[in-house]
Structure 1
Amino acid sequence: MMSAPADLRNASSCAGKSLAVETGGSTVAIPPMPDYNGRILAYTSAAVIIVSGVLQGVFPQWTLWLVAAALLWPHIAHAISRRTFLRQSPRIRQKMLFADCMGGGVFIGGIGLVAIPSVSVALMLMFSCLIVGGIRQWFFGVGFMAAGVAASVAVVGPADTLQSPLLTSIIAIASTGLYICVTAFYSHQQARALMLAKTQIQNQREQSIALSHKLSKYLSPQVWQSIFTGERDVRLETQRKKLAVFFSDIKGFTELSEEMEPEALTELLNHYFNEMSEVALKYGGTIDKFVGDSIMVFFGDPTSRGQRADAFACVSMAIEMRKHMKIMRQKWRSQGIKTPLEIRMGISTGYTTVGNFGAENRMDYTIIGKEVNLASRLESLAEPGEILVSYETFSLIKDKIMCRDKGEITVKGFAKPVPIYEVVDFRRDMGPNRSFLEHEHSGFAMYLDSDKITEKERESILAALEDAADRLRREEEDA
C-alpha cells in the first residue's frame, strides 16, 4: 500500500521526488507525500493492526512474521523503483501499487477475513488506487487483491469468527482513517498548487496572446498567422514561387508634403495606408512594406488560390483602390487639402524569390526578382489613376477584366521589350448595366456603386440628386 498524491502523469514517475510546474520565469511547487513515505505510513498501520490482533488473540501467532515484512517492504519497494531497470518505466507507481494490492490480499486472507481489519486494509488499497490511477487502476487493483485473498484463504482457510475485539477494530479504523486523512491532505495541497499553476499559465497565455497581437502589427496577417500556427519556421530560408506583385504610390504627394505641416501630413498618410491596407486584406494580399507614400503587396504566398485567382484578386484590389481613392480625395478636399491626390499602380506576375532575408537576429519577409522590378517600373510609368499590368498578368485576367494595349517598354533584366496593358474595368461593369459610375469636376464629384447601396440609401440619394438637379436648372434659368 502506498500514498496517492495527485498524479501529474509524466511528472511523478520517480518516487520520493517533489513535483513542480514551470510557469514562465517562476516555478510553482506541488508538495506531494512521496510514495516512499506514504508506503511506510500504510504498512506501519497494517503492522499495528497485526500486533493488536495477535495480542488480543484474533490473529494466529504466525502473522507476527507479517509485521517484519510490512516494515521491510516499503524500503524494498523504494529500492526497486529507484535503483533497478524498472525506474525507467513510465508507470512504475501503478505497477508497484499492483504488488501492494496483491500483498494486501494475501494479508486479508492470512488473517482469515476478519471483518473490520480486512475492510480497513482494503479501504487503504482502494483509496490509493483511485487517486493514483482512477477507476481503471481501482478495477485492476481490486482484481489483484481478490487474487491474493483467494490464494491465501485456500492455504490457511477462513477464521473461526469474522468478528474482531473492540480494541482491534478501533485501532484498525483509526489507522485507516489516519492514512486516508494524511493522503487526502497532501492531495488537497497538490490540487491547490495545480490550480495556482493553471491560473498562472492562463494569465501568461493571455499575456502572450496580447503580445503576439501587438507584434502582428509589424507583420502581414498571413505571415503572422503562419508563424504562430507553426506552419512556418522563423529562419533564413527562401523559395521560388509565381506571385502577383503590386506597387502603388500617390501622384502629387511630393508637392503636398511641401505645403502641409509634418503632423498633418503624417495623419493623412496614415489614414491613406489604413484604408488601402483594409482593401488589400479584403482581397487576401500580403502587405510587404510601406515606403514613403508607396505600398508593396503580393499575392500567392504564404497561401495561394492558384495563379489565375491570385492575379485576378490583385487586379481587383487595384481597381477597388482606385475607386476608393475618389472617396478619400473628396474627404481630403472637405478638410482643406486642395492638391488633387491620385494613385497610380503597377502589377506584374511571374516567378520571384520569397522568404526570410537578412540576419539570424533581424529578418524581413519579402520578395526579390525581376518581376518585382517590373511591377515597380510599371507603377512609375503609370499616369494618375492608371493601372498598368504586364502581359503575364493580362493573360490571366483578360476574360474577366477589360484591358487596353499600351505597347511595349524596355526594362532592365528583360532581354526583350515587355508588352504592357492598362486596366479599364471589370467586364461586368462595362456598358449600360455597370454598377459603378463616377463623375468629377471642380465644385462637383459623384461616386456611385449601386451594388453597395441599400433600398433606404437609394431613396435618400435620389432625393439629393433631384435637389441638386433642380438647383442647377434654376441657376441656369437665372443666368
Structure 2
Amino acid sequence: MMSAQADLRNVASSAGKLASADIHDHTVAIPPMPDYNGRIIAYTATAAIIVAGILQGVFQQWLLWFVAGALTWPHIAHLLTRRTFLRRSPRIRQKMLFLDCVIGGTFIGLIGLIAIPSVSILLMLMFSCLIVGGIRQWLFGTVLMLASLAASAATFGVADSLQSPLLTSILALASTGVYICVTAYYSHQQARTLLLAKTQIQNQREQSIALSHKLSKYLSPQVWQSIFTGERDVRLETQRKKLAVFFSDIKGFTELSEEMEPEALTELLNHYFNEMSEVALRYGGTIDKFVGDSIMIFFGDPTSRGQREDAFACVSMAIDMRKHMKIMRQKWRSQGIKTPLEIRMGISTGYTTVGNFGAENRMDYTIIGKEVNLASRLESLAEPGEILVSYETFSLIKDRIMCRDKGEITVKGFGKPVPIYEVVDFRRDMGPNRSFLEHEHSGFAMYLDSDKITERERRDVLAALEDAADRLRQEDDAD
C-alpha cells in the first residue's frame, strides 16, 4: 500500500519536471532576444545615425569617436556581465540597461537635441526598458536619461536648428523601426513558447492528478491527502497514539462461498465493502485493510477529534453498519441469496504503534499493538449482529450509548481478564422516541430509520404501509 504512497508523492513533486522534459523533447524553446544581440542592433543603428549626420554636416566630426564606442560597447558589456564578478550581481540585466539610458541621454545632449535622431534613440531605450523591466524600469530609465541629457545639453549646448536632413531622418527612423520590429518578433516568439509550455504543463498536471487519483484508490483518503499535500513524508517511521480500533467480518460467509459461483461471490463482496467503506468514511474512519471478508478500521490518525469523540465515532459507525447490513441483507434476499449474512464487530481503544512498516521500496501504513489483537479477539467472540467493546471504549461512550455488561475474557498480552460490553444502541434512540425500527418475518421485513426519510419520502412510505395493512386486513377477513 505504501508503494502507492511513494508513487503519489513522486507524482506530486515531479509534475513540473515531467512537463519541462516533455517541452524539451518535443518543442524548440525560443528565448527572448539576448541582451548582447539587442545591444549590437541598437548601437549599430546609433553608429549609422552618427555617420549619416556627420556626412550631411549635421553632427560635428569629433563624434566619429562615438562610432567606435558604439561598435565596441556591446562586446565590452557582454564581457563584463558574463566573465567578471558582475555576473553574480542581482538584476545585472536591468542595471546595464540603466547604464545604456545614461549613455543614450548623454549622446542626445551631445548632438544638441536634434529632433528625429534624438527621438529615435529615445524610442529604442524606452522600448527596451518596457520589454526588460516593465513600468518600473521605464520610469527609472527615463529619469536617468533625462538627467544625463540635461547635464550633457547644459555642457555642450543645444543645436541652432533641431531639424535634421532627410537622409539622416530616414536612416534614424528606419534603424529604430528595425530594432523595434526585431525585438517585438523575439518577444512574440517567447510569448508563443511560454503559452505552449503552459499548455503542456497544464496537460501534464492533469495527467499527474488523474494518476494520483487512481493510485489513491489503494490508500485511505486521509492518508492519501496527508501525503499529497506534503503533511506526511513517505519513509519508515512510526509513533505511539491512542486509537479506536475496529474489526468486522461476515458470519456465514464461508458457507455462502460454497454455494455461490466465484464471480457472483466477488460481486457481492465488493458491493459489501463499498457500502461499508462509505459508512466508515462518513464517520471519519481510516480504512486500514480488507482481508477476506474482514475489515479493519481505526480512528484517531492521521487526524483526531480527541479520544472521546474518536471512540464515539467508531462505535457510531459500527451501529450504522449494523443497521445498513439489515437493509443490504433484504436486498440480497430479493436477488436470490437465501443465506442470512450477519456481521459481527469488535472495538477496542488504547495506545498502538501507527506508521509505515516494511521496507524502503515497499511499505504498509498500518497499526500494531495489543489493542489491535484485542479488537480482533472481540470480533471473533461476537455473535452475529453483535458489537463488543472493551472497557476503555465503554468508559468513553457510556454517557451517549447504552451498553450491556458481558463479563470478562482472557486475552493474550493482557495480564488480567478484560471486561467487555455489548453495544445496544444510542441512548437517544432507546424507548418510544427511537428513530430506527425493525421487524422481520418470513415474507415480511421492515427497516425504518425516520431520521433519514424526507418529507416527500414520508408520504410514499405511509402509502406503502397503508396498502400493506389493507392487504393483510382483506386476507384476514377472507379467513
Please indicate the TM-score interval, normalised by the length of the shorter structure: over 0.9
Task: Provide runs of 4+ in structure 1 moved above 6 Å.
Answer: none
Deviations along 1:353-405, one digit per CA (max 9) or x if unpaired, are: 11111111111111111111111111111110011111111111111111111
| Superposition deviation, residue 69 in structure 1 | 1.1
- Larger CA deviation: 151-160 vs 376-385: 151-160
1:21/1:197 contact within 8 Å kept: no
| Superposition deviation, residue 90 in structure 1 | 3.5
1:21/1:30 contact within 8 Å kept: no
| Superposition deviation, residue 466 in structure 1 | 2.3
| Superposition deviation, residue 470 in structure 1 | 3.0
- Once residues 177 and 383 of structure 1 are traced to their aligned partners in structure 2, the CA distance between those partners, rounded to angstroms, is 91
| Superposition deviation, residue 32 in structure 1 | 3.0
SS in 2 for 1:407: strand
User: What are structure 1's unaligned runs of at least 5 residues?
Assistant: 1-19
| Superposition deviation, residue 477 in structure 1 | 4.0
Equivalent position amino acid for 1:304 in 2: S
Name 2:20's counterpart in structure 1. 23
- Once residues 156 and 421 of structure 1 are traced to their aligned partners in structure 2, the CA distance between those partners, rounded to angstroms, is 104
Name 2:463's counterpart in structure 1. 463
| Superposition deviation, residue 21 in structure 1 | 11
| Superposition deviation, residue 131 in structure 1 | 0.7
| Superposition deviation, residue 239 in structure 1 | 1.1
| Superposition deviation, residue 155 in structure 1 | 1.3
Deviations along 1:128-164, one digit per CA (max 9) or x if unpaired, are: 1101111111111111111211221121111111111
Aligned counterparts, 1:359-438, within 5 A: 359-438=359-438
* Match status 1:257 vs 2:254: no
Name 1:225's counterpart in structure 2. 225
- Once residues 21 and 49 of structure 1 are traced to their aligned partners in structure 2, the CA distance between those partners, rounded to angstroms, is 49
Aligned counterparts, 1:211-360, within 5 A: 211-360=211-360
SS in 1 for 2:408: strand
2:116/2:172 contact within 8 Å kept: yes
| Superposition deviation, residue 467 in structure 1 | 2.5
Name 2:86's counterpart in structure 1. 86
| Superposition deviation, residue 442 in structure 1 | 1.9
CA 1:203–1:107 in structure 2 vs 1: closer, same or farther (change >3 Å)?
same
1:129/1:141 contact within 8 Å kept: yes
Report which structure shows greater RCO (CA 8 Å, sep ≥6): 2
- Once residues 235 and 453 of structure 2 are traced to their aligned partners in structure 1, the CA distance between those partners, rounded to angstroms, is 47
| Superposition deviation, residue 42 in structure 1 | 0.6
- Once residues 457 and 109 of structure 1 are traced to their aligned partners in structure 2, the CA distance between those partners, rounded to angstroms, is 88
SS in 1 for 2:247: strand
| Superposition deviation, residue 26 in structure 1 | 4.0
Aligned counterparts, 1:106-185, within 5 A: 106-185=106-185
- Once residues 281 and 89 of structure 2 are traced to their aligned partners in structure 1, the CA distance between those partners, rounded to angstroms, is 52
Name 1:208's counterpart in structure 2. 208
2:269/2:293 contact within 8 Å kept: yes
Deviations along 1:198-245, one digit per CA (max 9) or x if unpaired, are: 110010011011111111111111111111111111111111111111
- Once residues 90 and 476 of structure 2 are traced to their aligned partners in structure 1, the CA distance between those partners, rounded to angstroms, is 94
More helix by share: 2
Name 1:11's counterpart in structure 2. none
| Superposition deviation, residue 22 in structure 1 | 5.8
- Larger CA deviation: 286-295 vs 391-400: 391-400
- Once residues 19 and 387 of structure 2 are traced to their aligned partners in structure 1, the CA distance between those partners, rounded to angstroms, is 56
Deviations along 1:74-118, one digit per CA (max 9) or x if unpaired, are: 011001100111212341111111111111111111111111101
Equivalent position amino acid for 1:228 in 2: F
1:24/1:204 contact within 8 Å kept: no
User: What are structure 2's unaligned runs of at least 5 residues?
Assistant: 1-16
Equivalent position amino acid for 1:466 in 2: E
Equivalent position amino acid for 2:42 in 1: A
Equivalent position amino acid for 1:412 in 2: K
- Once residues 467 and 174 of structure 2 are traced to their aligned partners in structure 1, the CA distance between those partners, rounded to angstroms, is 97
Deviations along 1:275-313, one digit per CA (max 9) or x if unpaired, are: 000000111111111000000111111111111111111
1:30/1:194 contact within 8 Å kept: no
Name 1:71's counterpart in structure 2. 71
- Once residues 416 and 278 of structure 1 are traced to their aligned partners in structure 2, the CA distance between those partners, rounded to angstroms, is 37
Q: Give the paired residue count.
A: 460
* TM-score, normalisation: structure 2: 0.94
1:327/1:447 contact within 8 Å kept: yes
Name 1:99's counterpart in structure 2. 99
| Superposition deviation, residue 25 in structure 1 | 3.9
Equivalent position amino acid for 1:449 in 2: D
SS in 2 for 1:439: strand
SS in 1 for 2:254: helix
Name 1:6's counterpart in structure 2. none
Equivalent position amino acid for 2:427 in 1: R
* TM-score, normalisation: structure 1: 0.94
